[in-house]
Structure 1
Amino acid sequence: MKAITSFLPHRLQTCFSSGLSSLCLLMVLSGLISACSIGDKIDRVTDTVSDITGDTVTVLDGAIDALDRNSSAWQSVLQQTTDKLTADAQSTIRTEVSDILNRSVAATGTELRCNMDFIGSRVRQALVRIRARLLHQEVPPVEPALCHVVPAAVDMALDAGRRNKLEFFGYDFDTTPIKVTLKEKSHTSNVSSYLDRPTHYHMTLNLGANGVPISSDSDRLTLEWQDRVISSIAVIQPATPICREKIETYSRNTFVTYNPPHTRGDREFAGHGPEVWATARWINEGTHVNVRLWMKAKETRSDWTTAEGERIVSYYTAPSGWRIDSIQGNMESSAHYIDTDHNEDPQGGGPNGPVREFKFRGDHGGDDAGSYTGMDVHFNPLVVKLVEIANCAPASAVKSLELKGLIAPQTIKRMQPMMLKLPRQ
């Protein structure tokens, strides 16, 4: 008996060493059975939570995929997403998605100067953040986005009453600190205290008598986020010139490789596809151009092994003293196909848009998702319009002021000859 009891748990050994072995054993075994029952319940609860998370991620994946196909349909996509999140345990996510919908609808009023595709892009980013949080992945930061400034510049030749405010239209202005600086000939001042945010998509900067102290020494106002300039507004003085402009073409002979992380299933496609989607999109950051790469590879049958993710790559930097006004040509390239072999697959691309050719790796003999599966992206030349950064007024801003009647006749008369000398686009 000693040899046997030495292998038993402490409580069973106690039973054998006492005179109440039968009763004691019954109690201990009952406890073990009860503990097993509790363990089973915990396992079932854990499995249920895991299933609900998986179901929620699947719903979010569907919404994100739909927005990738047609970002302008964001309103119907969000409504369908809330309708699919029916479980009680999904109520928090359902509320978040509803908030995104309400927030986006509010931003589509007559004041908004951003197009519907822009809003769809912001909606997609919000859903990606929710999904990342659910999967315990790094959550991308919320970055404010600026679409339009009214007026595009401040003409000091106008009466003070006609240049008493600036309006900024965009998205997510309420999620992070935004700084406004006044740059003058001799110094720079923080004038953020004069910035008001009536809504998350609309800000106003007071330039009146009790607002930003603009004077004959003022050169420009800048809007900044995390020490990065997201907008620069010229203050037009009697001698302010038109900014120079030029077109620059940038080519890169190398390609960019991206392998998206494993997000679902057992990592092995096992000859079942995968079905592959990918996009590459230029992002104009003012002083540089990034390219956003996104790829998803999904097994065509259960267990739906998936690799999906995106990567932001710094691609081009403007010369010192210049900013990127615009990118010429199509902003996005895409590809979609189903892999049927173990070979690399050239797909999509073409002469227009960022990508000349996508080269995909889908399935092969071992684990795929998170290691082998990925793409090499070969780019077309990037063509950008550059505008000088100096004590000057951009021609586009002057034209905008003229259309809105927010520039003095003498100012436009003085600047017209300079604008005629700019290269034709």
Structure 2
Amino acid sequence: MHINTTPADFVAWFRSVAPYINSFRGKTFVIAFGGEMVEDGKFTALTHDFNLLAALGIRLVLVHGARPQIEQHSARKNLEDNYHQGIRLTDTQTMQCVKESVGRVRVEIEALLSMGLANSPMANADIRLAGGNFITAQPIGVINGVDLQHTGCVRKVDVAALKNRLNFGEVVLLSPLGYSPTGEVFNLTLEDVATSTAIALDADKLVFLMDTDGVQSDHGDTLKELTVAQAQAALASKRVQSDDINLFLPCAIRACEAGVARTHLISRHTDGAVLQELFSDDGIGTMVVESTLNTLRDASIEDVGGILQLLRPLEEQGILVRRSRELLEQEIERFVVLEHDHRIVGCAALYPFPDEAAAELACLAVDAQCRDKGYGEAILDHMAVLAKSQKLKKLFVLTTRTAHWFLERGFIESPVTALPAQKKSLYNYQRKSKVFVRKI
């Protein structure tokens, strides 16, 4: 715990990550990082994060690159780096450099992942690494008259063998090399190995560590979440992005279209980037998903616990009237919930008064960590449409602390007499809630 962190802050933080810890257990994550991570000495910190993920029961497949090491080795042998349409041309001499460089990088990674230093996150670590000929490759061949020789692409991933190692609790480490049935070795790209493996394993997450923070907006802000359609639009716009984004974003799109649930593009320069991205709502990079993570739906009895979690803090502050679990269960058909990535982050209830063509909007609540994202407004708009579909003419709310929020959204402060007769008879004059009404 940081020296300036209070016990209360620590408890709040730990509770906030608990849902992720629970949902990630047993899931498969493919994490890809370039040889730069090893070259600049930052891989030690990353090993600590990998150890933590493995300790939480996450099935890890790590894919490493070796580009800077290959380039340095080639330079020492006075070999020229040849690229054709952005793809390395791997002749016989270069292939020898590739094999030697990849081998050295892999040994160094294995050594760092084997550390068990006292007073470090790796203390008593028991990471068992697995490797092997899991990737079958084929030559890319001739492109526009240029033979790329030993440069290849993934042809097949041995899913059964990989799952066997993961089922034994081992962390799989894949190198950017592939083998053919005829015994040839091919130089592959990190992104091809990682993407193909994630697709073949039907991974829950694919993570790329890169030099930039993620996809940038026109204003220079990192876009936290993109659907596949939005990511494709960003690429089609030809807006200037980093080389890494132009390389990895198409891989993210390909993975999500093929069934990988989430792909994350994050900066390798941020300490704890993997943990910050995976264990917080906002993350620190860009997450690409097949479609939006938000689902607004009718509540069911299974949602009672999640709704209570949202309502209790507001009830304790006196913002909402306390409801018992029993009452909530009885009235659950009145509620809708907003889910973000399968976690309830918002709710509201609608109580119609058809004789007076009105409906009360009650229990509108949004998780404190998810405010300022438009979730409350989305729920309000949904409830207005729902009320309108029931031939109702106006919505009203009773509130003590959120008057301005409703005023900003078209509600008008009204006297208690504006309430439907049944609601007016139950009005609590001691609580003195203000009444706001909006025509729909």
TM-score range, shorter chain: under 0.3
Q: State the TM-score, normalizing by the size of structure 2.
A: 0.27
* Greater RCO structure (CA 8 Å; 6+ sep): 1
Task: Select the structure that is richer in helix.
Answer: 2
Q: State the TM-score, normalizing by the size of structure 1.
A: 0.27
Task: Select the structure that is richer in strand.
Answer: 1
Rg comparison, structure with higher value: 1
